[in-house]
Chains A and B, each alone.
Chain A
C-alpha cells in the first residue's frame, strides 16, 4: 500500500506515440519526497551530456507534490521541470491551481514526456486511459481558449487543463504554461511547444490514501482554520492597495529607472477604483482558503486573473498606470508568456531603439507611445516575427545576437535569466549568496524565511521573534535577527545559515507541494507561517506513514539541493556563472564577495568551483552522482571543500552553463 503517493509515473514518448504506466520505488520517495526532488533525479539520470534543450531527447516533467490529493490544505503547486533552452540549466517552474491533485487522482505522481510529436497534439489522461490526440485545430489558440475547446470536445467539464498559447507553440523562451489563472514560467513553455504538445487534459477519479487518517484530518481542520484567520499567510498583495513598495523601490523600464516618489494617495484611490469596479472575485487554488487571485473583467477583454507583482510588470516596463496592465494582461495570458521576463525583454528593445542600436529597419512602424511600443513588441515576440525572434530568446541571448554594443544593455540577468528589477545601495550579504548561488532563477523562489531587513528597535525585534520562534529551525536565527542592526552588516556565519534555511523551505515546498505563500516565501513578512520545518515532519509522516523527523527532513532538503546542483554542474554551471547583476547594488567589493562565496561553498561542502565534493555527495546518499562525476571527470575524488584560506586554484578553462 502506498500512502499519499500513487506509486506510478506516466511515461509518454511523443515521437513513438508510446504511453506507459511505470511503478516507482518507494525508497526513492523516502529519499527525495516527490515533486522537484524526484524530477531532479530523473533529469540527472536521463538527460544526455551536452543535450540541446530543444531536441526530442529533452524531458518535460509535470510532477505532483508528495502531499497533493491528501487533506493537507494549500498543497497544490504543480512542479514543471525540464532543461531550459534559455539558461541551458534545470528549469524550475511552479503553478498553483488544480492540476497536480487531479493528476494524482488519475493515478500518477508525475508525467514524464520525451520525444517530439509529428504535429500538434494534446494529451488526454482519464485514469488508466491515456490518449495522444490531434490538436492541429487548436493551433494558434489562446491558452484558456484551448482549455475551453478541449472541455467541449471531450464533453467533460470536470477536466483540468494545462496548455500553451501562441508563444509556447513558437518556442518563445519566456513562454509559460497556463492552467486556469495560474502559470508555470521560467523555462518549460518553449519545451512543451518544441515537443508539439499543445495541452494536457486530465480527469482523475481514483482515491488517494493516507496512513494516519483520523490524526491527519483533525490536524488539517486546525491548519485550515489557522490559515483562513491568519494575515501571515496568503498573498497580502491581493488586497493591500498600497503598492508603493514595488512602484517606489523597483526599477521601471528595462530594470533601469527608479521613481522613488511615484506613489501617492490620489493614485492609490484611482487604481483602487479601477480594480474594485471591475473585480469579480478573489479566487483560490485547490483546498486552500486563501484568496490570492484577483479576477478582473476589463471592458472589451476576456476575464483574467493575476496575483502578486504580476499586475505591475507591464505598466512598469511601459511607464504607464494599472489600467495599461489590465488592458494587456488578458491578451498576454492567452498568448502564454511569463509576465516577469517578457516585459523586460520588450523594455530592453525600447532602450536599444532609443540608443540607436535598433533602428526603424528593425522595428518597422514602431509607435511613439511607450505603451504602444511594449504592446507592439509583445506581438512580435509571441510570433517570433522580425526582431521578436531575437527578443523571444530572452534579454541575454537577444543582446548577443543583436550585438553592436547591445550586451551593455543586458544588465539585469544572472545565469542568462532576467532578475527582478531591484537596484539597491549597499549589499545585503545573504541576498548576494542567494542570487549568486540560487538555481531557481528568481529571488522570490529562493528568499523568504528570514526577513529582508532588520527592524529598527530591539522592542520590535523581540516582538517579531516572539511569534517567529515556532517556525525557526534553531535558536541561532533568533540571535541573528535580534543582533542585526544594518542591512549590509551581518556575519558570514549568519549569511550562510540564512541562505541555507531560506532555500531549505523552498526545496521542501517544491517537493512536498506546499504553496510558498503559506510557507517558504512568506515567513519574512510577519513571521507566522503555517508550514515550517518544525511541523512539516509530522505532517509528512502522518500522510505517508514514513517516519520523518526534523533532522531527516533537513537532510532530505540537502540531498535534493545537491542533486539539483548536480544536474546543473553536469550541464556546465560553475562558479563564474554565479554572479548577481553588476548593478544590483551600487556599492560592491569584489574581493569580499568572492571571499563570502568561498565561505558559503565550504559551508555547503562544495569545491571552490561550486561542485559538491565526493564526500558531500556520498554523505547524502548521492553515490550515483559522485560515481557519474568521477567517470566524466567533473570530479577527481581528491577535491577539498572551498575555504577563503585555501590557495587559489590555477585558472582553468571554465565552461559557462548551458548553450
Chain B
C-alpha cells in the first residue's frame, strides 16, 4: 500500500465515519434498526451533486444534502409511527422508493460527473474532512450530553420509563431518525464531492459498512460513555478502510476490489462471533 493509498483510505474512512455516526444514533442510541440509509446516502450524494453542477456553493450543497436526509428519516418515522409499518420494513420501503426519487433529482441520469470542479475537497481534502468529521463528533457528543440527549438515549434503553417520565417517545424517535439520516446524507454529499461523481448505485451496502465501522470501533474503544462511543465510530471507520485497503492491495491474498463485500461481510460476522465469546 502506497502513502497515497493510505491517505485515500483515511479520507474515505472519515467520510464513512460520519455515516457511522448516523447509524450509531439509530442502532445504538434509540435502538431502531433503520435501513433507510442505503437510500439517504445516495439522496445526499445526488442533492449535493446537482446543486454543485448548478453552480451552488459546495457548503450550501452539503446543507441541502443534510436537510434532504432529515426528510427521508422523517418519512421512515411517519411510516413507522403513524401507519404502523414495522421498523425494518419502513426503512426498506423508503430506501426502495428513494431510488426513483434520486434518479429524478439527477435528471434521469444514473451518474453525474463533478470533474469540472466547484467541489470542496479539491486539494488537501484530509484536513477539511478531518475538520468536518470532528465538528460532527463534537456536535453529536454535546447533544447526547444534554437533557435532550439523555431522553433520546432513554427511549432506546427503556421506552416504558421514558413515556412514564413525560418523554414524547414518538417525537423523539422522529428526531433520532431525522438526525441519523441527515448525517448519512451529509456523508453521501461529501463522498460525491470527494470522488468527483454521484452514482445512483453508490448507496448499496451503506448499512453494512457503517455497522462494521460502529462494531469495529466498539472493539477498539470498549469504554462506556457517550464521547468514547461517538469517537469510536470515526475511529472504527478509518480502521475499517485501512484494513480493507491492506486486504485488497496485498498480493499475497490475491483479492480484487470486487471481493469487498465478501471481506466486509466476513469481518462483521467475525466481530459478532468474538463479541459473543466475551459475554460468556
A and B found bound together: no
